[in-house]
Chain A
Amino acid sequence: MTDAQLTFEDFTPGRRFDFAERTLTADEIIAFAREFDPQPMHLDEEAGRTSILGGLAASGWHTSAVMMRMLYEAYIRGSTSEGSPGVDAMEWKRPVLAGDTLGGHCEVLDARVSRSRPEIGIVRMRATVTNQRGETVALCEYINMMRLAEKGADHAHG
């Protein structure tokens, strides 16, 4: 990774950022489920096996949160990100089971400068999360606000 900070101007349509791989353990799946989604197939190996998901499976909200961390590592940490106003679509396409190794990438769909806040750009992105078999487990189209390089610096009291 370079030292230069990514700003709005760097997010041109088609630009792609790859995710570092990450293995999701049974302990992580159970800890997240205990706090946010305590359903049997997210908490218990046996209950998962007999469910439609076919094994101890991560909550879709856990998969989403892990995707967020992969986005952060892939490009957000070195950028002028100002967060997100929303997600147009999130598809949980396949179960994420304990021991699965997730990877994938995200790419820029389009980008424009905000009309109401000219120092902020609105970037639409698509993230594809895959497992160790190359199958897509989640697809997400979302918006990321990015500060512009030019007008970004003098905004401390904006």
Chain B
Amino acid sequence: MRMAELYAFGEAVEIGSLTFTAEDIIRFARNFDPQPFHLDAELARHALFGGLCASGWHSSAGWMKCFVPFWTGECRRLAAEGIAPPKLGPSPGFTNLRWLKPVFAGDTITYSVTLTASRELASRPGRLINTILCAGRNQNGEPVIRFESTVLEFV
């Protein structure tokens, strides 16, 4: 089964939620993005963001953290119904990533994926390029992150 047969174009599918604790935010920041507003609540109050908030790379990786188990579950579900799940390949990257609002300590982000286009690669028969919109909202329903990505599919 192809992605385009599995999901309706333009329809967001929730893939899971992740709560960003202060501890997780600080641990990620120490490794990868040790700017004061990702490390220290007091220093963060004086910064533009206004409070201890997750590195944008942390909230981005959070999308993947939710997608992998979601996709594993989808493949299992389809297999149980006797349907061959779509075979996905690696992603070459993303575009138009926007961190729309800070993800503050204690926030819970619910992530989603929306299939927006699917086309065959003229140069490589048997391969499709799927375009997806990835997004996340906080517990108040406010969008905090969005980006567009492409995923290779083997048919």
Q: Measuring CB to CB, which residues of chain A are less than 8 angstroms from any residue of chain B?
A: 35-39, 52-53, 59-62, 64-66, 68-69, 72, 76-77, 81-93, 120, 138, 145, 156
Contacts and interface: CB of A to CB of B under 8 A. Distances in A.
A72 B33 CA distance: 7
B93 A92 contact: yes
Given A39-B68, A92-B91, A120-B48, A65 B96 contact: no
B60 A64 contact: yes
Contacts of B62: 36
A86 B147 CA distance: 9
Chain B, interface size category, equals: 20 to 34
Contacts, number: 95
A126 to B, nearest CB: 14
- Determine which residue in B34, B35, B91 has the highest number of CB atoms from chain A within 10 A of its CB, and name it: B35
Contacts of B94: 87, 89-90
18 contacts: A36-B62, A37-B65, A53-B90, A59-B61, A64-B60, A66-B32, A68-B33, A69-B34, A76-B35, A82-B47, A83-B35, A83-B37, A83-B47, A88-B95, A88-B96, A90-B94, A92-B90, A93-B93
Contacts of B96: 86, 88-89
B7 interface: no
A138 B57 CA distance: 15
A91 B93 contact: yes
